[in-house]
A and B are shown apart, each in its own frame.
Chain A
Amino acid sequence: MSMLHIVNKSALDRNSLETCVNHTLKGATILMIEDAVYSAMKNTAASGMVEGAMKDVSVAVLGPDLKARGISEDKLIDGVTVVDYAGFVELTTKNDTVQSWL
């Protein structure tokens, strides 16, 4: 079973990403959308946690939400993939279950 975890809040404002990371199993994917896209940036107070999680899970961010916030892809942690809306849909179909961390 593989699970897609969707997070939409900034890790430095809410604890939803931290709780999510603590509840993911190997092979899962975390998709960061809306204000959560900031959590995919390197050199932040949250990047250590995300880099640690990436040993077991893959991390994707929604490109349109990155662009809206003026965050260029070169600011992202190495290994994070950027997906468009079609890629978002693909992730939901590729995984068995989806959990949105509100």
Chain B
Amino acid sequence: MADVKKFLYVNRKAPYGTIYAWESLEVVLIGAAFDQDVALAFIDDGVYQLVKGQDTKEIGMKNFSPTYSALGDYDINKIYVEKESLEARGLTIDDLQHLVWEDEDEDWAEKDSIKVVTASEMAEIMDQSEVVLSF
């Protein structure tokens, strides 16, 4: 396709306390329908969005965290999580959901979607993006 652009969605807010995380996910899913090259960045409090085991029953809000595991089905498999942000929050990749995608070119082999990157690597990822949307 001629007009494929590299989109980067930058997520810096915790889920539930504000609407940013959910809004971002909605826009990502809408954008996925347009066959663009999509990547997601999770920085600062944004890393909290991917924490596993979320259970919102007692706060009366929709638990949208299972939606992240559907991203692979929409060919969204570049999910970058900043190392420094995890460390400042006492978290490791083991505290996050295990997100995977199936590689069509390798007999649908299951591969990890999340990549933990340093802040300087994240800066490169941002630099190489053509459209950056911040939430």
Contacts and interface: CB of A to CB of B under 8 A. Distances in A.
Interface residues of A, number: 24
Interface string A62-80: 0111011111100100000
A12 B45 contact: yes
Interface in B1-28: 13-18
Nearest to B12: A13
A51 interface: no
User: Interface majority SS on A: helix, strand, loop or mixed?
Assistant: loop
Given A70-B65, A71-B51, A13 B45 contact: yes
Interface of B: 13-18, 44-45, 48, 51-59, 61, 63, 65, 88-90
Given A13-B44, A67-B58, A68-B61, 14 more contacts: A8-B17, A9-B17, A12-B88, A13-B14, A35-B14, A35-B17, A38-B45, A38-B89, A41-B90, A44-B89, A44-B90, A68-B54, A68-B55, A69-B48
